[in-house]
Amino acid sequence: LFSAPLFSAPLLAQTGTRPAPTQLQAPSALPAGFTTPSGYGDSVYPALGDAGLDVTHYDLSLRSDPGVDRLIGRAVLNIEARTPLTQISLDFAGPQVLGVKLNGRSARHVQAGEKLLILPPAPIAAGTAFTLTVAYSGTPALHLDASSGGGLRLGWIAQAGGSYVLSEPDGAHTFFPCNDVPADGASYSLHLNLPAGTTAVASGVQTRQTTLAGRTLSDFELVQEIPTYALTVHTGRLELVTQPGPAGIQIRNAFPVGLPDTVRAAFGQTPAMLGFLADWFGPYPYPVYGVAVTEDPQLPALETATLSTFPSRPEAPVTALHELAHQWFGDNLRLGDWSDIWLNEGFATYAELLWAEGQGEAAAPILDRWYARLVREPARGVIASTPAQLFDSSSYFRGALTLHALRLKVGDARFRQILRTYAARFSARSVRTTDFLGVVQELGGAAALEAMQPWLTGTALPPLPKETLTQT
C-alpha cells in the first residue's frame, strides 16, 4: 500500500528518466535457431512469461555481500511443458548467465532484452516435466516500474548494509530467471550465502542456518505456490523478533538493528489481525507471518509472501493489516491476469474497513474518504487495462466499494460465507474476476451480481451505496 505522490517526482529525479528496458531485441539480432518469444498472454504485460511453461518449483541459491551490488546465483527450475516446446523462454533481466543445463546437460542459450532463450536438443512434448539449471553472476539490472511511470525501482536492490527485494509487478526477473506472470505460481527453496554477521530472512519457513568458513548459509522453504513477485529476500544487520501467534502460526519480524519504536509500532497487532482476518477469510494460508522493514523510507509497502516488506517510516496499523490481507488475496489466491488486480487491491482495502469496524470505528467516514478519492479522478470500471491503472484509486477504492455494494446487498453472514468460500476454493490457485463472480452468484444469487455490476463494468462512478441491508 502506498500513497501515490510519495514516489513520483523525487524518486524519478534520483533514478533518472531511463525507461524500463522492456523491449526485446529485434529477431534479426538473435543467433541462428532462436525465435522471438510470444509471451504468456497477460493482457496488461503481454511480453512477460511463456504460455508453454508451468514452473512448479524454483530452487534458488544466491550468494551476496553487503555493500557489493553483485549477485552470484544458481536457479533450478522444475517445469512442465503446457504445449510442445522447441524453445524455452524465461524472463531474465538479471546478471550474466554463465551456463544453462536442461535435465543436467548443457543447452544452447542466449540473453536477449529481458529474455533468456534456451534451445532444447530435441522438441519437448506437451505434458513433459523437465529441469533447467541456470548459473549467473553480476549486478542485478536497474529495472524501473512501468506501473508508477518509472518512479520506482523494482527487483533485487542493494542497500547500505545488505539488500531487499520489491518486485510487484515485474521485478522478480531482475534476480532469478522465471516465468514472470502472476498466473504461474510456484513453490520455492532458497539457499542464501552471506558473510557471517549478516542476517538473511526470506519468504517461507527457515529450515537451516549454519556458519562455515566465515559464511552464513540460510535455507528457507515455501511449499505453497505463490506468484513470482511475492517472493522476497532481505539481508543485512537485522534483528529478528519472533513470538507465537494464533492457530500455531509463528510470527517473525525482521527490523534493521536500531530501527526506532515509532516505526515498529504499526506491527504490534499482528496476532489480533491474524485472528480477525481468519474470521472473515478462513484460515491464514501459511505457517509463518511477519514483516521485514527496509532501510528505505520511500517504498510502497508490499505483500511479499509470509514476510511483507515495509519502508522505514512510521505507518498506520491499517497498512500492516492491508498487507496481511493480501496474504489471502494476492499471494495465496494469485491473479490469473494483471487486469484483475482489484481482486488483490480492492479486497485488501476492504479488509481495512472490516478491521476499523471491528475496532469500533464508524464505517461512513472511511467510505466517504474512498469515494472522495474516486470523484477526483477519471472514472473507470474495476478491470484494469494498462500498467498505470494497476495501482490507481479505482483498483483500490472502487474495488473496495464493489465489495461494499455486495455486502450491503447480501448481509454480513452471507458476505462472510462468499469470502470464505472463494478463499478456500481457489487456495493456491490463480483467479480471474469471473471466478469470484461465480461464487457470488452461487451463494448470493442474481441480485448480488446485479448490485456489483455498475461498479465492475460501468464506466461512470455509481452513487455510494447506502448503509441499509436488504436482508441479513
Residues 104-116 as b/e (b if ≥16 CB within 10 A, e otherwise) read eeebbbbbbbbbb
Q: Which one of Zn ion, ligand ARG, none interacts with residue 395, CB within 5 to 8 A by kind? A: none
| Shorter beta-carbon distance to ligand ARG: residue 111 or 433 | 433
The conformation of residue 302, written as its DSSP 8-state character, comes to B
CA distance 44 to 103: 33
Q: By CB under 6 A, tell whether 147 contacts ligand ARG.
A: yes
User: In this structure, are residues 56 and 187 in contact, taking their beta carbons and an 8 Å threshold?
Assistant: yes
| Shorter beta-carbon distance to ligand ARG: residue 111 or 304 | 304
CA distance 211 to 200: 12
| Minimum distance, C-beta of residue 348 to Zn ion, in the bound complex (Å) | 4
CA distance 69 to 94: 12
145 beta partners: none
- Tell me which stretch binds ligand ARG (CB under 6 A): 90-98, 147-155, 190-198, 252-260: 147-155
Q: Which one of ligand ARG, Zn ion, none interacts with residue 301, CB within 5 to 8 A by kind? A: ligand ARG
Strands 308-310 and 291-293: parallel
CA distance 18 to 20: 7
Cis peptide before 169 (omega within 30 of 0): yes
Binding mask 46-85 for ligand ARG (x = CB under 6 A): ----------------------------------------
The conformation of residue 307, written as its DSSP 8-state character, comes to S
The single residue among 47, 85, 301, 418 that binds ligand ARG, judged by CB under 6 A, is: 301
Kindly identify the residues of this chain, within the stretch 164-193, that bind ligand ARG according to CB under 6 A: 168
Cell of 153: 525501482
The conformation of residue 231, written as its DSSP 8-state character, comes to -
- Tell me which stretch binds ligand ARG (CB under 6 A): 112-120, 143-151, 374-382, 454-462: 143-151
For residue 233, with 0-12 CB atoms within 10 Å meaning exposed, 13-18 middle and 19 or more buried, which class applies? buried
Q: By CB under 6 A, tell whether 1 contacts ligand ARG.
A: yes
Q: Which one of ligand ARG, Zn ion, none interacts with residue 300, CB within 5 to 8 A by kind? A: ligand ARG
Q: Which one of ligand ARG, Zn ion, none interacts with residue 168, CB within 5 to 8 A by kind? A: ligand ARG
User: In this structure, are residues 5 and 304 in contact, taking their beta carbons and an 8 Å threshold?
Assistant: no
Adjacency order of strands within the sheet including 88-91: 88-91, 115-119, 108-112
Q: By CB under 6 A, tell whether 323 contacts ligand ARG.
A: yes
Q: By CB under 6 A, tell whether 6 contacts ligand ARG.
A: no
Q: Which one of Zn ion, ligand ARG, none interacts with residue 180, CB within 5 to 8 A by kind? A: none
| Shorter beta-carbon distance to Zn ion: residue 85 or 351 | 351
Q: By CB under 6 A, tell whether 270 contacts ligand ARG.
A: no
Q: How many residues bind ligand ARG (CB under 6 A)?
A: 16
Q: Which one of ligand ARG, Zn ion, none interacts with residue 179, CB within 5 to 8 A by kind? A: none
The single residue among 91, 145, 337, 392 that binds ligand ARG, judged by CB under 6 A, is: 145
| Minimum distance, C-beta of residue 85 to ligand ARG, in the bound complex (Å) | 31
Q: Which one of ligand ARG, Zn ion, none interacts with residue 342, CB within 5 to 8 A by kind? A: none
| Minimum distance, C-beta of residue 196 to ligand ARG, in the bound complex (Å) | 34
Q: By CB under 6 A, tell whether 345 contacts ligand ARG.
A: yes
CA distances from 22 to 93, 141, 187, 238 (A): 9, 12, 26, 34
| Shorter beta-carbon distance to ligand ARG: residue 150 or 444 | 150
Q: By CB under 5 A, tell whether 348 contacts Zn ion.
A: yes
| Shorter beta-carbon distance to ligand ARG: residue 301 or 461 | 301
- Tell me which stretch binds ligand ARG (CB under 6 A): 92-100, 194-202, 234-242, 320-328: 320-328
Q: Which one of ligand ARG, Zn ion, none interacts with residue 152, CB within 5 to 8 A by kind? A: ligand ARG
Longest CA span, the chain: 68
| Minimum distance, C-beta of residue 390 to Zn ion, in the bound complex (Å) | 10
- Tell me which stretch binds Zn ion (CB under 5 A): 1-9, 144-152, 189-197, 269-277: 1-9
The single residue among 50, 114, 180, 303 that binds ligand ARG, judged by CB under 6 A, is: 303
Which residue blocks in 45-121 are alpha helix, DSSP H? none
User: In this structure, are residues 373 and 394 in contact, taking their beta carbons and an 8 Å threshold?
Assistant: no
CA distances from 85 to 36, 51, 79, 122, 400 (A): 14, 10, 12, 9, 41
Report CA Rg, the chain.
Answer: 22
User: In this structure, are residues 200 and 240 in contact, taking their beta carbons and an 8 Å threshold?
Assistant: no
For residue 281, with 0-12 CB atoms within 10 Å meaning exposed, 13-18 middle and 19 or more buried, which class applies? buried
Binding mask 305-344 for Zn ion (x = CB under 5 A): ----------------------------------------
Look at residue 233 and give its three-state secondary structure.
strand
Q: By CB under 6 A, tell whether 302 contacts ligand ARG.
A: yes
What one-letter code names the amino acid at 83?
T
The footprint of ligand ARG (CB under 6 A) covers 1-2, 145, 147-148, 152, 168, 300-303, 322-323, 326, 345, 391
The footprint of Zn ion (CB under 5 A) covers 1, 345, 348
